[in-house]
Amino acid sequence: MSITRREFLGRIGAVAGAAVMYQAMSSLGFASESSYTGPIELKGAPRGTSVLILGAGLAGLVAAYELSRAGYKVKVLEYNQRAGGRAWTIRGGDEYTELGGFRQKCEFDKGLYFNPGPWRIPYHHHGLLDYARRLRVPLQSFTEVNQNAYLHSSKAFGGKPQRFRHVRSDFKGHVAELLAKSLNQGGLDATLNGEDKEKMLEAMRHWGILDKQYKYVASHAVDSSRGYRVDPGGGLMAKPESSTPIDPGQLVDSGLWKYLVTDHDYEMGQALFQPVGGMDRIAMALYREVAPLVQFGAKVVKIDQDEHGVAVSYTDAAHAGATHVAKADWCLCTIPLSILSQIPLRVGDPMRAAISAASAYVASAKVGLQFKRRFWEEDDRIYGGVSYTDLPITMISYPMDGQNLPGKGVLLGAYNFGPNANVSTAMDPAQRVREAVRLGTQIHPQYPAEFENGFAVAWHRSPFTLGCFAPWPGDTREKHYDNLCAIDGRIALAGEHASRLPAWQEGAVLSSLDAISRMHARIVSKAPEKKNA
């Protein structure tokens, strides 16, 4: 089959990862840039109009902040004894009881923490970053791709982890050599003229760091990409020695090349940030602005409405007892669909069907591990970033805080989805921690000697979410999304589930701003009607 020049260059892009990954992410709804353009203005709020907000996660806090500033009477009901929802940070002394009655008390040392939910913010999540800026929440860079971190296959190289930079450089070099060979053998003469062929050969030589014979072999030029076997020193230190590229057959069989798309990923490969001290810092800054409006420990058990207003029944989340009723003119519900689908709710069939369509949340589990010393830096020279593995733990992420300082540190020792997360969820927290240590030892042999304690969260055992995020499987988004986001009578929904940025905090922020803007417009349009009533 002949291919055009555009198709040929497209295949190079596919090998590099960007084209295929971006297309896949776009089709799944994960690769959209935030549409946030600046703070909203809600002018003309009718005096005395009340809004009840269900949930003090990021969507609920944003709504409470903006609506109260606009002059609305706001009340927030929150199931937990804290604000933030899934924007949650675990620190020493924190306690958590998951479904099944498994209770954990965090034993991390002071200043160390673990984010069981969101843990990074892409540069193009403008809304979240703007709230951090306006509320003066300090941020620091977050490293996703670290060329000195590891890629690990339990089935290749005798289970020995390989440096990311070795796999990347060698895979790129071997692919470039194959493409150059195809060009030299005339395999693409039908679609590339002589000048194009020469330019492409030169491009392959530079891109893949090939020698003059278009071979990818050990050389000082290759060392500048994959690293040396013996690094250059000073004075009479040993002379530098070139490293040896991985055999192409072994490299392909290992499957490690599948991780090379990470830094081409629209969400992960660009500038990323995290709040200094934990991901909950932004949510806590919002909470401080609206704290008097928030009632903790309120478990919503029924949501009713009529043409005059909304009535929400709730009980004490910690102690079953009397049912209380909160009333308001309007309601913004940010309760996850996994929970909302189980609550009696007076809305029309289209919204009810939409809630049901995305109510089976994705399984995910995370484990934070505290170690006596930062051996990943001291021994392995890994400062930030992520090591990936085919083991059930999926990845190990290295902390940005405290880099190159003596003392202890907390690793993200496991972060998995799907079948691996289902297995993790079936374990109790102590088992999850032990398994993360056992498997992580295959990548970092220092684990057993350095491990101190851990904390594990399996999101399907979380009583306030019953899962990680709304999945929108198949074509359900196209069928139900608009109905989920539409205002039904006096009730609107918001949260990451009501956004095209699922699983991201930015989705929660944008959906909240959109919902309250549309609600405000409807309230203002009905204001004369209310006055005459």
Contact 314, 324 (CB under 8 A): yes
CB atoms within 10 A of CB 220: 10
Under CATH, which architecture does the 50-84+292-358+475-532 domain have?
3-Layer(bba) Sandwich (3.50)
What's the rounded mean pLDDT across residues 263-283?
Answer: 80
Tens of pLDDT, residues 315-347: 999 887 899 999 999 999 999 999 999 999 999
Alpha-carbon distance 34 to 217, whole Å?
Answer: 43
> Given this structure, which CATH class describes domain 90-149+271-279+362-461?
alpha beta
pLDDT given at position 269: 53
> Given this structure, which CATH class describes domain 164-249?
mainly alpha
Give me the residue spans of the domains in the chain. Answer: 1-31, 50-84+292-358+475-532, 90-149+271-279+362-461, 164-249
pLDDT given at position 356: 97
Q: What is the average pLDDT score of the chain?
A: 87
Q: What stretch of H or E contains 507?
A: helix 505-532
As a whole-number percent, the residues of the chain with pLDDT over 70 amount to 86
pLDDT-derived band of residue 194, with 50, 70 and 90 as boundaries?
A: low
* Element counts in the chain: helices (H) and strands (E): 17, 24
In the chain the first and final C-alpha atoms are separated, in Å, by 74
Alpha-carbon distance 232 to 220, whole Å?
Answer: 11
Q: Which of 17-26, 466-475, 507-516 is predicted least confidently?
A: 17-26
pLDDT given at position 79: 98
CB atoms within 10 A of CB 99: 12
Q: What is the chain's Cα-based Rg?
A: 27
Alpha-carbon distance 154 to 388, whole Å?
Answer: 11
pLDDT-derived band of residue 222, with 50, 70 and 90 as boundaries?
A: confident
Tens of pLDDT, residues 348-404: 999 999 999 999 999 999 999 999 999 999 999 999 999 999 999 999 999 999 999
Tens of pLDDT, residues 127-169: 999 999 999 999 999 998 898 999 999 999 999 999 988 888 8
CA distances from 512 to 73, 109, 230, 519 (A): 17, 36, 54, 10
Contact 89, 77 (CB under 8 A): no
Closest CA to 269 of 9, 37, 21, 506: 21
pLDDT-derived band of residue 235, with 50, 70 and 90 as boundaries?
A: low
What's the rounded mean pLDDT across residues 445-457?
Answer: 98
Closest CA to 170 of 60, 88, 252: 252
Q: Is 30 exposed, middle or buried (0-12, 13-18, 19+ CB in 10 A)?
A: middle
